[in-house]
Structure 1
Amino acid sequence: MRSISILRNVLKGTKFVAPENSFRFLSTQAIRPIVKENLEIVSPFPDVTPKKEFPVHLAIAAAQRWSHLTAFECGFTGVSYTFGDLLDAMQRFGGFLQRNDIGRGDIVAIFMPNSVHYPWVFIGIMMSGAAFTGINAAFTANELRYQLLDSGAKAVVVDPIMESVVEKAIADLPNPPSVYVTGPSQHGRVNLVEVTNDKNTPFATLPEFRADDVLGILYSSGTTGLPKGVKFLNRSVSTHIPMMLHPDIYPIEPATNNHQDTVIGLMPFFHAYGIYTILISSLLMGTKVVTLPLFDPETFIELHKRHKVRVIHLVPPILKFLVTNPMVKAEDLEHIRVALCGAAPCPAEVAQAFKEKAPHPIFFQELFGMTETMPTHLVPIKGKEKLGSCGPLLPNTRAKVVNLSTGVSLPRGEEGELYIKSPVLPLDYHNRPEATSELFSEDGWLKTGDVAKYDEDGYFYIVDRIKELIKVKGNQVSPSELENYLLQHPGIADVGVIGVNDPRFGEKPRAYVVKKLPSLTESDVIEYLKDKVAPYKQLAGGVKFVDELPKNPTGKLLRKIVKEWAMKE
């Protein structure tokens, strides 16, 4: 990404009745796991009824209902949109697309960092009848080209600071997509901010939406291969909204005449966490979102204080920063009452340290979901707090944990692969029939690829990824388990564990360590782990010191790249 100063400069620049909150209320005493005879776990929450309206209608209704409130504000420049401004901009952008022959059956790519423009681009695409695909704002031209080609995008909307990357990506394409810019263009392209500010730009004519229309194609993170496009339909999101925003589960309160929650929109909007948990959910709850295009520590902390943020959205690396960095004081966490952490399993010790650092009690919520599933688990705001757990199943959701070898369902406390059934699951991967067949079991369960277990309260714990387990003499070793122990060493700032091939053992665990203390040695690390885990889990593959570990935008370790390092050594 570019520098903070460049971003600051660049970023300056039909009626519906809103549905009332009609979710069922469930007292905390009613939260009990339901385990059937076949060891299938059912959500402890009663099923909720899917929304009759499609997402675009819900977005319009919300924008009208809270038209006078601020919807999105840039954390660097202070430029903001009210919900009314948002409604106007998304209708004009949708109309612009339609006049440029973009609508039903077309894909429009969004290649932008988080900004106040992202929401009206996202919803405007839906209003035109087209579907969106969000692209990682840190992608190179090669990575961008891959997703444009794989998705079949007819157009791409780009932030001005990234227009040169698009130029390189489409330079040799026989049928390049149309390119539109959310600001001044270096190549004379259409400036969409001017288009949406022009009162003469006609509104979109809403097409007749259908339940099975593709709303968007989200791409998996690609940690174990090339990213795959996950298709989500109108009915998927309409079904998931009341599951996620259940008032006993979700921590944000809907806006009223006297109250409006504010959240910081740092989690990338191209990612499932950012678009579901922050962008869409905030829009439908009337929440103000202060956008950040990248993690700038001082700005991140200052915005939480200035806006008196009650619910903080986190990923494990940012949580660890807040806990360990001396620049973060207890008073900086003054207004926080709920921490919601997702994208990767959160070590219970780090969550506990965060709670102890804060000056007031904080309820810690962990979330689990995949690009393929949307969120499926969340520690309910009116339930038990269990650090290290991603909570029980959301309403309308079922799960089972199966033996990795036999596929037999396992009882509580035993580790196996997590299987999910939910009405929001995707039909398939985009243009990937073989990958789709591998995603589902013969009887229709989605195989998450995650090793998990559940307890007597129906709370789930994600242990590791199946493909990342290290096999030592037939024993399975969780790299995450070793990482959690090693992160407690005062001399270790960050760590990634992989298995390296060995003719005798099959694989041996190896740690790649970022030092916090310059004096830290390999023997220090190995000795620290000796009395904490079984002999076969020891770091027989050694310790390598590195300056930095490769992470994706949500902070998940890119273990595939670390393994490539090992192969080159």
Structure 2
Amino acid sequence: MLSGTAQLDHRRRAAHVTVADLYERAYQQYASRVAVRADEYELTYAQLGERVHRIIGALRNLGMRPGDRGVLLLDNCPEFFEFEQALFVGGFVRTALSVRLHLKEVVHILNDCTASVVFASPAWAERLTSVRDQLPALRHVISDMEVLRAAEPAPRGTPTAADPAAILYTSGTTGLPKGATLSHANWAAMIRGELLELPPVTDRDLVLHVAPLSHLSGYIAPSYFVRGATHRMLSKFDSDETLALIERHRVTILPMAPTMLNLLVLAAEQRQGDYSSLHTIVYAGSPIAPDRLARAREVFGDVFVQFYGLSEVPIPIACLSAKDHSGAIPARLASAGRVSPFVEVKLVDETGTEVPRGEVGEIVVRGEQTMMGYWGRPDATTEMIDADGWVATGDVGRLDDDGFLYIVDRKKDMVVTGGFNVYPTEIEQVVSRLPAVAEVAVIGVPDETWGESLKAVVVIRDGHGLTADEVVAVCTENLAGYKKPRSVEFVAELPKTGSGKIMRRALRDKYWAGAERRVGG
């Protein structure tokens, strides 16, 4: 038991921990354990640490200085971890981008953060070469690992906890991406919060990364590295291959986007498999419809953990634990879980006044992982973070009497139809109950009578049939009349961000072109 003075000293030391400290400790503490494994690739923690220090030396030889930005533009691959950790440990600033971005979006982001170096796949290196005249700050595009590995190892950097560690670019669902800048203290707080909420992690665990390392898996992986777990990955998500790898390698931990989990469950229901090695499936980005989650639990068991977070305030703002998933209160499966002990949450109305418990309001957040601000955008930072440090999430939600947070919808996705406020997520959860529905998005489209009317855009599950009447019927049976879609469209796929979130704005654009939008977003 620590004395009061010892506890205070411990907290002070923890407040000064950097991401570099955490990785350096892991290289030593788990030196002989396998850190990363692929088909023809295997590195122990000690070997990973040596490579990281060689890359740091190479980057310094290329002229990178402390605080310079390095960008990862790679599919999931073992080298991702080498590059990323070199940026953290070397005292540089890490940014990771989805390979699914358009070239124009990548150019915007590289110029926004004035990136010095990009670690890119050969395909992306070629694309960037074609637009180098548009990237005045960019010094090097690197796709050859061997050049970096040949450098002499260099000492770690000396960042402080208050220095920038990473820039997370917003998904761009409402406009051009902005760079949420996180300090080493912010990133370390994210790791601490995750480890508190996750089932116990040991150096015997095997993590399979099928979600992009540029997004969800990249925010989960550090927590498992600091506990000595082994990491495998798929370059791109494939349901059947994921299931095969779980069985073949006895995977214990699987981070996933909700859209991926839905597809994985559909695939698992079509085959016999042994997935008993899994003890944790982490998902984030959005809740999963309770009916879909019930099906997932039937296939994989009570292994689910849900995190809620933002680029501006990374996971976990809230966590629905494995115990909460398996509890006796089904309604809680629609929640984002309980608020993290390291985060404050309140719900406010349009005037900023806190609403009573149980009522709907905008979720505002304050905590140790709250971003420093948007890179190079002080005005946008002031709009997002008030003088007391509260971040406006743009999400609408409510808190129940037991402290469970329910995300009702994105504030800007709200549809106003006939004077009624309607949140698309509620309708999407009802439509998702239909066995033939693989995915659905509900949007508001122009309507001369109602201002906006609801349209359901549906992806039909392979081998199934579905009519618009059936979609409307399930809504009629479960929702108020004004919440029924007035039109239904069937599509082959829904547009998504690099993190797997459905882009409702992209669906809306073709209907609102030339029309005056009555609700923001």
TM-score, normalised via structure 2 length: 0.90
Classify 1:506/1:71 alpha carbon distance in 2 versus 1 (closer, same or farther; 3 Å): same
CA distance, structure 1, for counterparts of residue 194 and residue 147 of structure 2: 36
Distance 1:312 1:338, change over 3 A: same
Matched residue of 2:333: which SS?
Answer: coil
Compared with structure 1, are the counterparts of its residues 294 and 470 closer, same or farther at alpha carbon in structure 2 (3 Å cutoff)? Answer: same
Distance in 2, matches of 1:329 and 1:412, equals: 45
Q: Could you tell me how far 1:484 is from its partner in structure 2?
A: 0.9
CA contact (8 A) 2:399 2:406 kept: yes
3-state SS of paired residue (2:402): coil
Say yes or no: does 1:84 pair with 2:84: no
- SS class of match (1:411): coil
The one of 317, 329, 334 aligned to 2:259:
317
Cα offset, 1:568, TM superposition: 5.5
The letter for the 2-side match of 1:80 is E
Question: Which residue, out of 356, 360, 382, partners 1:411?
Answer: 356
What corresponds to 1:469 in structure 2? 414
How far did 1:474 drift?
2.5
Per-residue Cα deviation, 1:514-554 (whole angstroms, up to 9, x for no partner): 223665332232223112111111112x1112121111233
Q: CA deviation at 1:172?
A: 4.1
Contact persistence 1:140–1:165 (CA under 8 A): no
Is contact 2:101-2:498 (8 Å) kept? no
Post-superposition offset of 1:147 = 1.1
User: What is the distance in 2 between the residues matched to 1:418 and 1:330?
Assistant: 42
- Which residue does 1:393 correspond to in 2? 339
Which residue of the other structure, out of 139, 142, 145, is the alignment partner of 1:192?
145
CA gap of 1:176–1:62, structure 2 versus 1, over 3 A, is closer
Paired position in structure 1 for 2:20: 56
Q: In structure 1, which of residues 275, 278, 282 is the aligned counterpart of residue 218 of structure 2? A: 275
Equivalences for residues 477-488 of structure 1 within 5 A: 477-488=422-433
How big is each residue's C-alpha offset from its partner over 1:308-352, in whole Å with a ceiling of 9 and x where there is no partner?
Answer: 123332222122112223665353423223322111221111111
1:378 aligns with 2:378: no
1:437-456 per-position Cα deviation (integer Å, ceiling 9, x unaligned): 22123543111111111222
State the secondary structure of the residue aligned to 2:264.
helix
Change (3 A) 1:328 1:307: farther
* Contact residue 449 and residue 466 of structure 1 kept, 8 A: yes
Offset at 1:383? 5.8
Structure 1 424/173 Cα, relative in aligned 2: closer, same or farther at 3 Å? closer
Go from structure 1 to structure 2 and tell me whether the alpha carbon gap of 1:240 and 1:195 turns closer, same or farther (over 3 Å shift): closer
- Please give the per-residue CA displacement for 1:262-320, whole angstroms capped at 9, x wherever unaligned: 1111222222x222212x11110111110112112222111111221233322221221
User: Quick one: distance in 2 between partners of 1:536 and 1:238?
Assistant: 46
Do structure 1's residue 253 and structure 2's residue 201 form an aligned pair? Answer: yes
Structure having the higher helix fraction is: 2
Alignment of 1:160-559 (within 5 A): 160-181=122-143, 191-196=144-149, 198=150, 201-246=151-196, 249-255=197-203, 260-271=204-215, 273-278=216-221, 280-325=222-267, 328-329=270-271, 331-358=273-300, 361-375=301-315, 376-381=317-322, 385=326, 386-403=332-349, 405-516=350-461, 519-540=465-486, 542-559=487-504
Cα distance, 1:356–1:127 mapped onto 2, change above 3 Å: closer
Q: Give me the whole-angstrom Cα distance separating, in 1, the residues matched to 2:19 and 2:270.
A: 39
Per the alignment, residue 519 of structure 2 pairs with none
TM superposition shift of 1:253: 1.5
Deviation at residue 49 of structure 1 after TM alignment: 7.8
- Does the C-alpha gap of structure 1 residues 478 and 561 become closer, same or farther in structure 2, counting only changes over 3 Å? same
Alpha-carbon distance between aligned partners in 1 of 2:15 and 2:334, rounded to the nearest angstrom: 32
SS where residue 531 of structure 1 aligns? helix
Q: CA deviation at 1:51?
A: 5.1
Q: How many Å separate the matches in 1 of 2:13 and 2:210?
A: 31
RMSD value, Cα:
2.3
Q: Quote the Cα distance in structure 1 between the aligned partners of 2:336 and 2:28.
A: 34
SS in 1 for 2:185: helix
Amino acid at match of 2:214: F
Q: Alignment partner for residue 32 of structure 2, among 62, 65, 68?
A: 68
Q: AA paired with 1:430? A: W
Q: What fraction of aligned residue pairs are identical, expressed as a percent?
A: 27
**Matched-pair contact (CA < 8 Å) for 1:67–1:83:** yes
- Cα distance 1:48–1:400, how it changes in 2: closer, same or farther (>3 A)? farther
1:99 paired to 2:99: no
Partner amino acid for 2:198? Y
Q: Tell me: CA distance 1:470–1:103, structure 2 relative to 1, closer, same or farther (3 Å).
A: same
Which stretch of the first structure deviates more once superposed, 527-536 or 160-169? Answer: 160-169
CA gap of 1:238–1:546, structure 2 versus 1, over 3 A, is closer
Contact conserved, 1:319 with 1:350, CA < 8 A, in 2? no
State the Cα distance separating 1:243 from its structure 2 match: 2.5
AA of the residue aligned to 2:30: W
Distance 1:328 1:103 in 2: 53
1:216-240 CA distances to partner (integer Å, 9 max, x unpaired)?
Answer: 1110111111110011111212333
- For 2:101, what is the secondary structure of its paired residue? coil
Partners of 2:44 and 2:121 in 1: how far apart? 21
Q: Report the residue type matching 1:426 in the other structure.
A: M
Q: List per-residue Cα deviations over 1:369-402 (Å, max 9, x = no partner).
A: 0111011111245667442222112222111112
For the structure 1 residues 382 and 52, does the alpha-carbon distance in structure 2 shift closer, same or farther, using more than 3 Å as the test? farther
SS of 1:371's equivalent in the other structure is: coil
Cα gap change, 1:562 to 1:233, in 2 (>3 Å): same
Question: Counterpart of 1:292 in structure 2: which amino acid?
Answer: L
294-303 or 304-313: which moved more?
304-313
Q: Distance in 2 between matches of 1:449 and 1:539?
A: 24
Once the 2 structures are TM-superposed, how far is the Cα of residue 155 of structure 1 from its aligned partner?
1.3
2:98, 2:499 within 8 Å by CA — same for their partners in 1?
Answer: no
**Cα distance in 1, alignment partners of residues 42 and 147 from structure 2:** 16
**Would the aligned equivalents of 1:498 and 1:511 in 2 still touch at CA under 8 Å?**
yes
* Matches of 2:137 and 2:498, distance apart in 1: 30
Paired residues, number: 498
* Corresponding letter in the other structure for 1:294: K
Distance (whole Å) between structure 2 residues aligned to residue 285 and residue 48 of structure 1: 22
Which runs of 5 or more residues in structure 1 are unaligned? 1-21, 23-46, 182-190
